[in-house]
Structure 1
Amino acid sequence: MGTRRATISDVARLAGVSPSTASVVFSGKTPVSDATRERVRAAAEELGYTGPDPRAASLRTGRSGIVGVVFEEHPGSAFLDPVKTLMMDGLADAVSPVGAGLLLLRDHDPVGTGPTLTTAPIDAAVLVGCSGLLRESLDAVRARGIPVVVIEGDAGDDVPRIVLDNREAQRQAASHLRSLGHTDVAIVALPAHAGWQPGWIADDTPLTVDVTRERLRGGRDVFPDAAVYGAGGSFIDEGLAAGRVVLADPARRPTAVIAQSDLLAAGVIRAAEELGLRVPEDVSVTGFDGIVVDGLTPYDLTTLVQPATEKGRAAGRVVAAMLDGGEPASISFTCMFHEGNTTAPAVRRTGAPG
């Protein structure tokens, strides 16, 4: 076949199935047997076929009108996070002028019944984070000539990135605590990697989630010996569970907790209240994001305010520019430190060690 791009008919012929059956395997619209699916995928791999050409979806425009969005976590969980919702609002706003809509995708489908990043007929892809299996899917996506932009992740030097000054911002919050006299500080972190189960993060724990790693570096720049507990996600309940562990032992209880999200911080505050601790008199708490957290009154959280909507809007503008043949540069955003009423000078407790 020389250098001609393999087609679905080529794959079907090699796999011994009809073209419609081979197409179904890639579209995920109709269930097929495991044996058939494996034959088709094996044939596709042998021929170097990476999926349907997204521009064949519309002969008139040469585009499908779809921008795929992939989160590292399950899409359902992602939308429980107000930060992700704000980013999606900005992204949708920026791609609408080019007539594109958003399609939430998974980077892989273990069941094999739905479209994924590597099979969906998309014009461009926006990856929210880039680690683990997502990096494995990236080569196949780019082989199809699909523009890719990453929000808060690193997919290589030639992939535009929308990034936040996570390390420097977190260092600001940590420095604020140090200026208040805190030396015994714990960190409640976001998940260390995909599939992370809540627990203490050791020095040799693989940190493949870029946001977690960079914010942890910022905290450790100021408090290198801070104990780190990794939550299962950015949720108030996860912060509550983490706070119960971190604050449980009076003899080892930190005087301040750096939470890597506002939702985690709200949960830590609830855990402190359960234990009869006053915030900030007994324990100071900082967050990260600058979102409105329902039920946090009378607390005004000390946090880092990030431009979540603008991050999404910037990603959309990059997508639009790439679809027009441009080569846009990466964009970096800066957080703003906000001092609320959840931090105060450290007070040595009666009977504290040292």
Structure 2
Amino acid sequence: MSPSRQTRKVTLRDVAERAGVSISTASLVFSGRGPVAAATAGRVHAAAAELAYAGPDPLASSLRQGRAGTVAVIVEDRLLHAFRDPFALAVLDGLAQELDDMGTSMLLVADHGDSQPNPLAAHAIDAAIFPLCGRTVSPLVDHLLARRIPMVGAGAPVHDEVVHVVIDERGASATVTQHLVDLGHSALAHVLMPIGRHRATHRMDEAELEHAAYPDARDRGLGFLEVAGPGSPLVEAEFPDVAQGEVAGRILLDAPARRRPTGIVAQSDLLAAGVIRAAEGLGLRVPQDVSVTGFDGVDLPWLDRRLTTVEQPGEAKGRLLGSLTRRALAGEAPDDAPFEVRLRIGDTTAPPA
């Protein structure tokens, strides 16, 4: 390498000249977005290695295209909770596949919903996606609106400028509750995901549902009450996981038989698995002594049961979120997209003894 070459930054032109190809061909090799013969691509990569060329400058590329090439994926609270939830992982996986197909990277952001420094302020992004259960209001929406960044969500935050993948949460919850009623159950109880108070798992009053910070938990609760009837026991979980589902299950089931529900509708499969653990720990049989239902339809290979649940395919939901994002970035104004769910009958429900 000549002294003059060593004193300046190596460019794509240098690589193309060394490989004996045009700049456009070398560019296609690095982007992976065009048909280039394997032998030609090999020469380009070999030339890049000889010149210690790391690839095109992504900042320069984004400036030329007027795009950052990055989409913010905003998850409520700590990312830890999302990565422990198989449904959340399935949604993120489907979304990541769609963004990969677009050649767009994913910036994971935790939204704590408080007055902390804005986690998006220092990042260049093309769009923002709220892919999981979230609060009705997010302080990030006003910031994103001011930057004219398109937003896509899965039911929250609720704002006219956020395009959503929409599930009939209330109707789905009513359907799975009706399944228990049709089996003959009349003593029903409900285990809710957090509604926004972040306190220990506890019995709650149904009036609190109207003020829930999370619209999905609220609507699933209202769907349950629509069928089970007012006054049916409600327990709010501190976190939507197995451990808190077990706590909730003990609150409802550790009681004399005459005061114990014969059917429990849980707002997620993880909560339902926790309720089953609680029942078995108390010496109760599922479904002979108590029927349990979930919501999501995730694979729980460690649970020796096939849950009766509401199936909403997480990967497909993530892909639909990505598709809406693609359309928004193309300059379209997509409408909310309905997402179908269905009742799946498993072996955790049966007529009451």
* Distance in 2 of aligned mates of 1:87 and 1:102: 13
C-alpha distance 259-56 of structure 1, shift in aligned 2 (>3 A) = farther
Residue 309 of structure 2 is aligned to residue 303 of structure 1: yes
Cα deviation 1:9-61 (Å, max 9, x = unaligned): xxxxxxxxxxxxxxxxxxxxxxxxxxxxxxxxxxxxxxxxxxxxxx9993122
Contiguous gaps of at least 5 residues in structure 2: 1-58
Residue 254 of structure 2 is aligned to residue 248 of structure 1: yes
Following superposition of structure 1 onto structure 2, how do residues 110-129 of structure 1 map, counting pairs within 5 Å? 116-127=119-130, 128-129=132-133
1:87 counterpart SS class: helix
Equivalent pair of 2:113/2:138 in contact (CA under 8 Å): no
Report the Cα offset of residue 258 of structure 1.
0.5
2:162 counterpart SS class: coil
1:76 corresponds to which residue?
A: 80
* Distance in 2 of aligned mates of 1:223 and 1:201: 16
1:60 counterpart SS class: helix
* Distance in 1 of aligned mates of 2:63 and 2:120: 22
The amino acid of 1:220's aligned partner reads: L
Cα deviation 1:230-257 (Å, max 9, x = unaligned): 1122211111111111111114211111
Report the Cα offset of residue 167 of structure 1.
1.2
Residue 324 of structure 2 is aligned to residue 321 of structure 1: no
Following superposition of structure 1 onto structure 2, how do residues 179-328 of structure 1 map, counting pairs within 5 Å? 179-193=182-196, 195-205=198-208, 206-224=211-229, 225-250=231-256, 251-297=258-304, 299-328=305-334
2:147 corresponds to which residue?
A: 144
* Distance in 2 of aligned mates of 1:233 and 1:69: 21
Q: Normalising by the residue count of structure 2, what TM-score does the alignment of the two structures yield? A: 0.77
Further displaced range: 153-162 or 324-333: 153-162
Coordinate RMSD, CA, aligned: 2.1
Equivalent pair of 1:215/1:260 in contact (CA under 8 Å): yes
Q: Which has the larger radius of gyration?
A: 2
Q: Normalising by the residue count of structure 1, what TM-score does the alignment of the two structures yield? A: 0.77
1:125 counterpart SS class: strand
Report the Cα offset of residue 273 of structure 1.
0.6
C-alpha distance 130-278 of structure 1, shift in aligned 2 (>3 A) = closer
* Distance in 2 of aligned mates of 1:184 and 1:176: 13
Query: Larger % of helix: which?
Result: 2
- TM superposition outliers: structure 1 runs of 4+ over 3 Å: 108-113
Equivalent pair of 1:197/1:232 in contact (CA under 8 Å): yes
1:33 corresponds to which residue?
A: none
Following superposition of structure 1 onto structure 2, how do residues 133-172 of structure 1 map, counting pairs within 5 Å? 135-172=138-175
Equivalent pair of 1:56/1:62 in contact (CA under 8 Å): no
Equivalent pair of 2:154/2:166 in contact (CA under 8 Å): yes
Following superposition of structure 1 onto structure 2, how do residues 92-103 of structure 1 map, counting pairs within 5 Å? 92-103=96-107
